[in-house]
Structure 1
Amino acid sequence: MMEVLSYDVARVNLRFRDALHRAARSVIDGSTFILGQELEAFEAAFARYCGVEHCIGVGNGLDALMLALHAAGVRAGDEVLVPAFTFIATWNAVSLLGARPVPVEVDGSGLMDPAHLARAVTMRSRAIVPVHLYGRLADMEAIKAVAREHGLAVVEDAAQAHGASRNGCRAGGFGLAGAFSFYPTKNLGALGDGGAICTNDATLAASCRMLRNYGSQVKYRHDTVGWNSRLDDLQASLLSVKLADLEAANDRRRTVARCYHAGLSGLSGLDCPDTGGHDMVWHHFVVRCSDRAQFQEALVREGVHTAIHYPLAPFDQLSYAGQYDRTRYPVAAELARTVLSLPMADYLLDEEVSYVSSTVARVWNALHGF
Structure 2
Amino acid sequence: MAKHNIPYVNLPAQGRDQMEDLKKIFEQVVLKGSFVGTHDDLAALEKRLAEYCGTAEAVALNSGTDALLLAMKIAGVGEGDEVITPPNSFVASTATIIQLGAKPVFADVLADQNIDPEKIAKAITPRTKAIMPVHLTGRICQMDEIMEIAHRHGLVVIEDAAQAIGSMYKGRLAGAIGHFGCFSAHPLKNLNALGDGGFVTTNDKAAAERMRRLRAHGMADRATIEEWGMVSRMDTLQAAILSYRLEKLPDVIAKRRDNAALYQKLLHHERMYVPTCRNEEFNTFHTFVVQVDKRDELQAHLKEIGIKTAIHYPVPIHLQPAAHALGHKKGDFPMTERQAERILTLPVNQYMSRADVETVASEVLAFLGR
The TM-score range, normalised by the shorter chain, is: over 0.9
Output one character per residue of 1:330-367: Cα deviation in whole Å (capped at 9) or x when no partner.
0011111111000111111111111111111112212x
CA shift, 1:322, in A, is: 4.8
1:117 corresponds to which residue? 120
CA shift, 1:13, in A, is: 2.7
Are 2:176 and 1:173 aligned? yes
Output one character per residue of 1:177-219: Cα deviation in whole Å (capped at 9) or x when no partner.
1000000000101000001011111121112111111111211
CA shift, 1:2, in A, is: 2.1
3-state SS, counterpart of residue 163 of structure 1: coil
Identify the match of residue 343 of structure 2 among 339, 363, 366. Answer: 339
Are 2:17 and 1:12 aligned? no
Q: Give the number of equivalent residue pairs.
A: 365
- Determine what percentage of the aligned residue pairs are the same residue: 35
RMSD (Å) for aligned C-alpha atoms: 1.1
* 1:164-313 aligned within 5 A: 164-264=167-267, 266-277=268-279, 278-313=281-316
Identify the match of residue 369 of structure 2 among 346, 365, 368. Answer: 365
Inter-partner Cα distance in structure 2 for 1:158 and 1:16: 26
Q: Is the 8 A contact 1:23 1:238 kept in 2?
A: yes
3-state SS, counterpart of residue 15 of structure 1: helix
Q: Is the 8 A contact 1:64 1:196 kept in 2?
A: yes
3-state SS, counterpart of residue 126 of structure 1: strand
Q: Is the 8 A contact 2:10 2:351 kept in 1?
A: no
CA shift, 1:238, in A, is: 0.6
Q: Is the 8 A contact 2:271 2:368 kept in 1?
A: no
Inter-partner Cα distance in structure 1 for 2:78 and 2:186: 27
2:32 corresponds to which residue? 30
After superposing the two structures, state which structure 1 stretch, 8-17 or 328-337, moved more. 8-17
Structure 1 gap segments, 5+ residues each: none
CA shift, 1:259, in A, is: 0.6
Q: Is the 8 A contact 2:215 2:232 kept in 1?
A: yes
3-state SS, counterpart of residue 137 of structure 1: coil
Q: Is the 8 A contact 1:130 1:138 kept in 2?
A: yes
3-state SS, counterpart of residue 245 of structure 1: helix
Inter-partner Cα distance in structure 1 for 2:192 and 2:255: 16
Inter-partner Cα distance in structure 1 for 2:168 and 2:290: 22
Q: Is the 8 A contact 1:311 1:337 kept in 2?
A: yes
2:57 corresponds to which residue? 54
2:361 counterpart letter in structure 1: S
Residues 1:325 and 1:301: Cα distance change in structure 2 (over 3 Å): closer
CA shift, 1:168, in A, is: 2.7
Output one character per residue of 1:224-264: Cα deviation in whole Å (capped at 9) or x when no partner.
11111011110000111111010111011110001111110
3-state SS, counterpart of residue 101 of structure 1: strand
Inter-partner Cα distance in structure 2 for 1:242 and 1:221: 35
Q: Is the 8 A contact 1:215 1:226 kept in 2?
A: yes
* 1:15-164 aligned within 5 A: 15-36=17-38, 37-164=40-167
Structure 2 gap segments, 5+ residues each: none
